[in-house]
Amino acid sequence: MLENKTGMIFGVANQRSIAWACAQACAERGARLAFTYQGERLKENVEKLTANLDGSLVVPCDVTNQADVDAAFQSVGKEFGKLDFLIHSIAFAPKEALEGEFVMTTREAFQTALDISAFSLTQLALAALPLMTDGGSIVSMSYYGAEKVVPNYNVMGVAKAALESSTRYLAEDLGKHNIRVNAISAGPLNTLSARGVKGMGAMLKHIAANAPMRRNVEAREVGNTALFLVSDLSSAITGETIYVDCGFNIIGIQRHFDET
């Protein structure tokens, strides 16, 4: 399905990363992939994970450093010649911002969260444009806290709202180049990022009890949706946020616990 296509994947930290699930789905369907990592401490992880992916490339890229971004796309241009898709699976907020009350968010935490988690999509889309000569597809990761209040998600909810809105504006700008831009709103997963969050275990239980499908999402299901969105199967879908959450977001009032 992705034979002769090349993709760039941002946000692999370890084997549980959503970005890695996306990479596996795409690699299994024949894509040639470039991976970026943030900081030297993640370099070895990413190199080990990708060691047996034929023709893959691993480059450093901290999105807060434009020179890194330019160098990463230059490497991809040199090695691959063109780019067909890009998967954005990066987010950050200071730990203190993901606990307590949203009203306590500092200017610095707000700026950091929005810069790394939302602005970076626009930054990477612009950098990818000259390489997407044959059209392309850009996919990012969001979460329900963008739309509705989720305890502790706080400034990340604001950042994801900006990410989803950016998806729509980018879809309009890049549509004329046959580049599609979509977001996946994934249900919570037990990843490195989620590990740092207080009450994650209780939240996973709440989803398993209340989602229409009575279970949590698996990373491979998010990866398969990313595969669909970067493939030609989704050729008329752009600007959307697609929920991959076992239906949790459609529920208005939760059913009573003793009704199965």
Q: Which amino acids are annotated catalytic?
A: 143, 153
Q: Does 183 bind ligand 1JT (CB under 6 A)?
A: no
| Part in contact with ligand 1JT (CB under 6 A); list of ranges 4-12, 125-133, 192-200, 212-220 | 192-200
Q: Nearer to ligand 1JT by C-beta: 57 or 91?
A: 91
CA distance 146 to 153: 9
Q: Does 204 bind ligand 1JT (CB under 6 A)?
A: no
Phi, psi of 182 (to 5 degrees): -140, 160
Q: Does 98 bind ligand 1JT (CB under 6 A)?
A: yes
| Part in contact with ligand 1JT (CB under 6 A); list of ranges 58-66, 75-83, 86-94, 217-225 | 86-94
Neighbouring C-beta atoms of residue 192, cutoff 10 Å: 12
Among 53, 126, 129, 194, binds ligand 1JT (CB under 6 A): 194
DSSP summary character for residue 133: B
In the chain, which residue ranges form alpha helices assigned H by DSSP? Answer: 18-28, 40-50, 66-80, 107-114, 120-128, 154-175, 192-195, 200-210, 219-230
Among 91, 181, 184, 222, binds ligand 1JT (CB under 6 A): 91
Q: Nearer to ligand 1JT by C-beta: 152 or 167?
A: 152
Provide the token pair at 181: 């831009």
| Part in contact with ligand 1JT (CB under 6 A); list of ranges 13-21, 149-157, 175-183, 208-216 | 149-157
183 touches 167 (CB < 8 A): yes
CB of 91 to ligand 1JT, least distance (A): 4
Q: Nearer to ligand 1JT by C-beta: 17 or 238?
A: 17
Q: Does 222 bind ligand 1JT (CB under 6 A)?
A: no
CA distance 6 to 30: 9
Q: Nearer to ligand 1JT by C-beta: 92 or 119?
A: 92
Q: What pairs with residue 86 in β-bridges?
A: 8, 138
Among 30, 100, 151, 212, binds ligand 1JT (CB under 6 A): 151
Q: Does 248 bind ligand 1JT (CB under 6 A)?
A: no
Look-up of token digits 């500092």: 106
Smallest CA-to-CA distance from 77 within 27, 138, 120, 133 is with 133
Provide the token pair at 14: 């370890």
Q: Does 163 bind ligand 1JT (CB under 6 A)?
A: no
Q: Residue 57 in 3-state DSSP?
A: strand
Tell me the torsion sign for CA atoms 8, 13, 18, 22: positive
Q: Does 203 bind ligand 1JT (CB under 6 A)?
A: yes
Q: What is the contact surface with ligand 1JT in residues (CB under 6 A)?
A: 91-93, 98, 143, 150-153, 156, 188, 193-194, 196-197, 203
